[in-house]
Amino acid sequence: MGGNGTGNTVILIILIIGAVVLLFGIITLIITLTKKHKQTKRISRSEENYKSQTTSQPQSIRFIELVSKSNIGAFSLYFRLLAVALVSTITLGIANPWMEVWLLKWIASKTSIDEKTLEYRGSGGKLFVNKLKWTLLFIVTLGIYGFWIPSKILKYHISQLHFEI
């Protein structure tokens, strides 16, 4: 009985640490997406890029100005984060991928770039499979793979963001 209780405690601690890491990843993504309410970005091409082409004449530098906006309210974001944390905790992390997708779809719908609304096309099922795979790699490598998991999660979420040009 004592050994069984210790095993359950270890599993609970691992689940709590995993939930904290995932919540930290979500918060980092939100901060990245909503760092500034209005933000102007300039994308340029340098003359060196044009010199490397077959023509020897340098072309002029082009600038494209994009304005990003987000109308996410602090209270609505707080309550959605709270809902993600509560549901993830109650389901012992099983529902976390679906809750992350729900949150990110809402964030994307409230964010626009150059007056075009972002769209998040991720799915909870695919994210669940990816997280299961990453968790197994974490276990097999005795925790070493854990350093790459936040990056993998962020890359997945970013790859699912789309907007029409």
For the chain, the three-class secondary structure string (H helix, E strand, C coil) is CHHHHHHHHHHHHHHHHHHHHHHHHHHHHHHHHCCCCEEEEEEECCHHHHHCCCCCCCCCCCEEEEEEEECCCHHHHHHHHHHHHHHHHHCCCCCHHHHHHHHHHHHHHCEEECCEECEECCCHHHHHHHHHHHHHHHHHCCCHHHHCHHHHHHHHHHHCEECCC
| Percentage of the chain exceeding pLDDT 70 | 73
Q: Give me the pLDDT at residue 164, please.
A: 76
Max mean pLDDT range (27-41, 53-67, 104-118): 104-118
Q: Give me the pLDDT at residue 4, please.
A: 63
5 vs 138 pLDDT, higher one: 138
pLDDT at 161 over 80: yes
pLDDT at 113 over 50: yes
Q: Span 14-35, mean pLDDT?
A: 69
pLDDT at 41 over 50: no
Query: Of 34-38, 39-43, 129-133, 145-149, where does mean pLDDT reach its minimum?
Result: 39-43
Domain ranges of the chain: 2-37+69-162
